């Protein structure tokens, strides 16, 4: 998840032969993935360096996406891309979570939107220098803009092998006891399948943790297994959420980053308004209230039979509100990677190669069309070894 925040930046840098790109993981225990999975995640031109070695190496630039990463032992210019666009609020301090005191460690902050930038204006003590903050947009979300083509969507939907002729709904709720999955998860699934929709279920990764604070005390793999043989149902816990958004006709969700990012695609959103989430995470309710307006302010799964047919018929009554959501939370969507690269190359005192971001996105599009299953994050299908 952390790597995905800077995936487009890393991919673009790989096009420049002057630059060597490496990745590390500072979590306790290191990166717990097989070597082949690391290679697929990072690409052939990026190597993984274990953190005990990485922290002592001299880097020309260090890029992270979360404020709680460990220090490097040797100084390097430090860039942060922030951790999504969704807003969580620190009520005791009356501030956005991402307007954080630890931001003062960073030489360069690539800010996703003006609202967060304004928070740093209120808290200048959170900035290392007055020049540290740069309004660039969210690089990760550029993929939603750049890959939103009929060809890519058709390739992804074909790979998912969904029921033809039916609308495809993505159910992507957040985790926790106050979340939609815990409160109404099974009911939402039943209503969608009864309505004849294709349903893709992508729960938040924390929903699969054994701690009830995250999972609600539910083993979701076991709970949803009974639907696995349904032709219109796909439970994809390891899939790429960006790819699933591109494939979907509509999204059902609750408070978090996912519905904000989905607004970039200008497709119907069904937002469940859960007051406990607004009180616990919503702070000044700015994002929460905008999502209510953009997603219909739904209170119960029993409303879905009336809502789902309108999605299939293209009767969209909340396009204006979704447009406001997109405008507020994304600065220059589709150009955030280019903006971020310009700032990073300035720090490295190197000229930016011509069309660097464009070359990356062109290559990425070709890669997705050639292997949509890999972009979706689906497991590789076994190759038959039987002789004909």
Tell me the sheet residues that pair with 363. none
Contact 152, 131 (CB under 8 A): no
| Cα→Cα distances 56→4, 48, 52, 53, 99, Å | 24, 15, 7, 6, 29
- Planar angle of CA 21, 22, 24, nearest 5 degrees: 155
Q: Which of 153, 133, 141, 151 lies closest to 335, judged by CA?
A: 141
| Alpha-carbon 349 to chain mean position | 30
CB 71 within 8 A of CB 61: no
**What predicted TM-score, i.e. pTM, was given to this entire model?**
0.91
Q: What is the pLDDT of residue 284?
A: 78
Residue 157 three-state SS: helix
102 φ, ψ (degrees, to nearest 5): -70, -10
**Contact of 192 with 308, CB cutoff 8 Å:** yes
Rounded Cα–Cα distance for residues 7 and 123 (Å): 29
Q: Are 87 and 287 in contact (CB under 8 A)?
A: yes
Please write the tens of the pLDDT for every residue from 287-335. 889 999 999 999 999 999 999 888 766 667 899 999 999 999 999 999 9
14 against 379, higher pLDDT? 14
The predicted-structure confidence for 179-219, as pLDDT tens digits, reads as follows: 899 999 999 999 999 999 999 999 998 899 888 888 888 99
Q: Residue 387 above 50 pLDDT?
A: no
Q: What is the mean pLDDT of residues 56-81?
A: 87
Helices (H) then strands (E): counts for the chain:
18, 13
Instruction: Answer for the pair 7, 140: CB distance below 8 angstroms, yes or no.
Output: yes
Q: How many residues does the chain have?
A: 388
**pLDDT for position 282:** 63
CB of 77 closer than 8 Å to CB of 60: yes
pLDDT at 127: 96
Q: Is the pLDDT of residue 18 over 70?
A: yes
- For residue 344, which of 81, 121, 23 has the smallest C-alpha distance? 81
Q: How confident is the model at residue 87 (pLDDT cuts 50, 70, 90)?
A: confident
CA angle at 387 for the pair 384 and 388, rounded to the nearest 5°: 105
Q: Is the pLDDT of residue 157 over 80?
A: yes
Mean pLDDT of the chain: 88
The answer on pLDDT for 385 being more than 50 is no
Nearest to 126 by CA among 110, 112, 105: 105
- Residue 90 backbone phi and psi in degrees, to 5: -95, 95
- Region 124-146: mean pLDDT is 95
**Per-residue pLDDT for 43 more than 80?**
no
Q: Comparing 22-36, 129-143, 296-310, 354-368, which segment has the lowest mean pLDDT?
A: 22-36
Q: Is the pLDDT of residue 280 over 80?
A: no
Is residue 12 predicted with pLDDT exceeding 60? yes
């Amino acid at each position: 998840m952390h790597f995905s925040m800077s995936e487009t930046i890393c991919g673009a840098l790989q096009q420049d032969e002057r630059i060597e790109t490496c990745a590390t993981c500072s979590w306790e225990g290191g990166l717990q993935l097989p070597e082949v999975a690391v290679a697929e995640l990072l690409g052939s031109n990026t190597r993984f360096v274990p953190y005990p070695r990485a922290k002592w190496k001299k880097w020309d630039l260090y890029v992270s996406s979360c404020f709680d990463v460990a220090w490097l032992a040797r100084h390097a210019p430090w860039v942060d891309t922030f951790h999504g666009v969704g807003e969580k609020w620190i009520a005791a301090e009356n501030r956005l979570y991402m307007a954080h005191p630890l931001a003062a460690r960073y030489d360069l902050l690539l800010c996703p939107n003006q609202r967060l930038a304004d928070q740093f204006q209120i808290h200048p003590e959170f900035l290392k220098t007055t020049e540290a903050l740069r309004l660039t947009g969210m690089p990760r979300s550029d993929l939603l803009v750049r890959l939103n083509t009929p060809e890519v969507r058709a390739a992804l939907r074909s790979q998912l092998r969904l029921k033809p002729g039916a609308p495809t709904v993505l159910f992507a709720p957040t985790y926790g006891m106050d979340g939609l999955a815990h409160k109404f998860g099974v009911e939402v699934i039943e209503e969608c399948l009864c309505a004849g929709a294709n349903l893709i279920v992508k729960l938040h990764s924390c929903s699969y943790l054994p701690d009830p604070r995250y999972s609600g005390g539910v083993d979701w793999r076991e709970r949803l297994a009974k639907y696995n043989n349904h032709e219109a149902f796909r439970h994809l816990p390891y899939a790429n959420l960006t790819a699933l958004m591109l494939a979907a006709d509509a999204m059902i969700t609750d408070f978090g980053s996912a519905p904000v990012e989905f607004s970039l695609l200008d497709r119907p959103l069904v937002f469940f308004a859960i007051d406990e989430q607004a009180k616990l995470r919503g702070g000044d309710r700015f994002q929460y209230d905008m999502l209510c307006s953009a997603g219909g302010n739904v209170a119960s799964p029993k409303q879905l039979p009336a809502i789902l047919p309108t999605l299939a018929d293209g009767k969209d009554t909340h396009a204006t509100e979704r447009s406001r959501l997109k405008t507020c939370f994304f600065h220059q969507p589709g150009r955030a990677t280019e903006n971020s690269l310009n700032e990073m190359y300035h720090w490295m005192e190197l000229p930016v190669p011509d069309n660097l971001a464009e070359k990356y996105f062109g290559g990425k599009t070709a890669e997705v069309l050639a292997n949509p299953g890999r972009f979706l994050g689906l497991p590789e299908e076994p190759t038959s070894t039987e002789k004909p």
